[in-house]
Amino acid sequence: MVPDHIAAGGTPMPLPKSLVEGYRRFLRDRHAPDRGRYRQLAELGQAPSAMVIACCDARVDVSAIFDAEAGELFVLRNVANLVPPYEPEGMYHGTSAAIEFAVLALKVPHIIVLGHSHCGGVAAYREKIRDKVPAQGFIARWLTLLDDLKVVESETFTHGDEVAFELAAIRSSLGQLRSFPFVRKREEAGLLSLHGLHFDLGSGALIGLEEPTGSFTALSEA
């Protein structure tokens, strides 16, 4: 059976027409009117106001959620917006490398962990689906970061079991961020603030973690 992305005869399929047309609209409607800003970004480099650690779910459009312009956000995306612990043993750590660059090179003043509703990664862990994939699989290994997840019981009543796990995953990632010495140092110096947010796909509601109380409240009320 020939894979969907390979045409008959083994020739790769062309880039989807919708993406090509989208690129043309981008050039016409966004890049051309704001060409000066893009040139400035190219020549002077980036100075984002925040790093966002988000899920790679296609339904979560980070820039759209915050109505952010080009260069405003340094976005890292992975399965379930997870942060691994600080492990400087020299292996391949894409997430950790991005955090290091954002904090030490870009010196971002904010890091946002952005979770979302109907997260497939968190659901896979919650429903133990990870046990059905090979033990050495990348996803199975990655989701072990959620082991010992601490779910707030009251949130299961307020938001439901699914969202309660997603909120717990956000808290876990914030805790892991603080295992990085350079993150902790800048936070203690008042140079960096960490934030936990959860986006509801259906309603568009955004709730944020209030550190003093440990509870999530609507962003408009925070």
Assess contact for 102 and 50: CB atoms under 8 A.
no
> Of residues 25, 28, 39, 116, which has the active-site annotation?
116
Residue 36 in 3-state DSSP? helix
* Residues recorded for the chain: 222
* 55 noted as active-site residue: yes
d(CA 208, CA 50): 15
> Of residues 25, 39, 119, 186, which has the active-site annotation?
119
* 59 noted as active-site residue: yes
d(CA 96, CA 180): 9
* 119 noted as active-site residue: yes
> Of residues 31, 57, 110, 141, which has the active-site annotation?
57
Q: How many CA atoms lie within 13 A of 61 on its CB side?
A: 7
> Of residues 28, 30, 59, 141, which has the active-site annotation?
59
* 5 noted as active-site residue: no
Specify the residue for token string 């409240």: 217
* 30 noted as active-site residue: no
Q: Which residues are known catalytic residues?
A: 55, 57, 59, 116, 119
